[in-house]
């Protein structure tokens, strides 16, 4: 079986978006100024869309090496894990020991972390709090890994990484083929301001239709199951 050709390029998206927005006629080419402007707008649109929905292809398991007595780790440029800043950490962390056995870690909120009696207590990891900062994600583990925890395993979290922004017109994009129509009409909707009302309405409706359709499709195939929160307290009833 042959691999499908890749047509999801910035050049094709910009050209078709300009046609949809009424800026480009058959046989015409965008000007260098239009290419530069709309390439930036496409990147802005992509950066915003990363905050919407799951974007399953952006998720992957990240290993965080542990240091005895260190409970705080940074993910991002110059951090404990030096990489491009991820968008977020998703709630399914675990501790992996040297025998290959996994132990789930519980993600807690800022309020829950703040209310801990001692954030410096050392021992086996059981939970973590993610502090989203502008340039890095800061992960606080609790308990703080002691010598045994640091020597015998690593912490793992699932992150949502950033899509690489496009810089040239002919490069392949991190967005897969099925996202082409959503990107095309999303850009058309963004650039059509000032055009006749019929064009603006058509671009807006198409952009919304394709984006929502893709967001609904971009979910895991396994059934969703809800489990009781282990942090919940149980209260007994009283006889009256």
Stated pTM of the model: 0.82
Q: Rounded to whole angstroms, how far apart are CA atoms 48 and 140? A: 27
The domain spans of the chain are: 10-54+164-217, 56-160
Q: Rounded to whole angstroms, how far apart are CA atoms 73 and 140? A: 6
Which of helix, strand or coil describes residue 131?
strand
Rounded mean pLDDT, 134-157: 97
DSSP-assigned states of every residue in 85-125: PPSEEEEEEEEEETTS-EEE-EE--HHHHHT-S-TT-EES-
- Residue 233, pLDDT > 70, answer no
pLDDT (tens digit, 9 = 90+) per residue, 28-79?
Answer: 999 999 999 999 999 999 999 988 877 888 999 999 999 999 999 999 999 9
Contact (CB, 8 A) for 113 and 82? no
């Amino acid at each position: 079986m042959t691999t499908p050709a890749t047509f999801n390029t910035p050049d094709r998206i910009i050209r078709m978006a300009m046609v949809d927005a009424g800026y480009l006629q058959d046989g015409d080419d965008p000007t260098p100024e239009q290419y530069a402007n709309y390439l930036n707008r496409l990147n802005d649109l992509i950066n915003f869309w990363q905050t919407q929905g799951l974007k399953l292809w952006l998720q992957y398991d990240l290993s965080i090496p542990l240091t005895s007595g260190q409970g705080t780790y940074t993910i991002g440029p110059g951090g404990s894990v030096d990489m491009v800043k991820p968008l977020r950490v998703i709630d399914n962390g675990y501790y992996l020991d040297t025998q290959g056995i996994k132990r789930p870690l519980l993600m807690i909120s800022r309020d829950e972390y703040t209310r801990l009696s001692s954030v410096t207590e050392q021992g086996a990891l059981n939970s973590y709090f993610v502090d989203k900062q502008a340039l890095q994600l800061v992960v606080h583990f609790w308990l703080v890994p002691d010598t045994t925890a640091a020597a015998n395993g690593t912490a793992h979290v699932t992150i949502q990484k950033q899509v690489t922004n496009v810089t040239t017109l002919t490069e392949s994009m991190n967005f897969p083929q099925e996202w082409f129509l959503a990107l095309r009409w999303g850009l058309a909707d963004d650039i059509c301001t000032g055009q006749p009302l019929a064009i603006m309405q058509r671009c807006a409706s198409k952009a919304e239709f394709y984006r929502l359709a893709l967001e609904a499709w971009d979910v895991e195939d396994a059934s969703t199951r809800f489990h009781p929160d282990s942090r919940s307290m149980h209260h007994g009833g009283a006889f009256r």
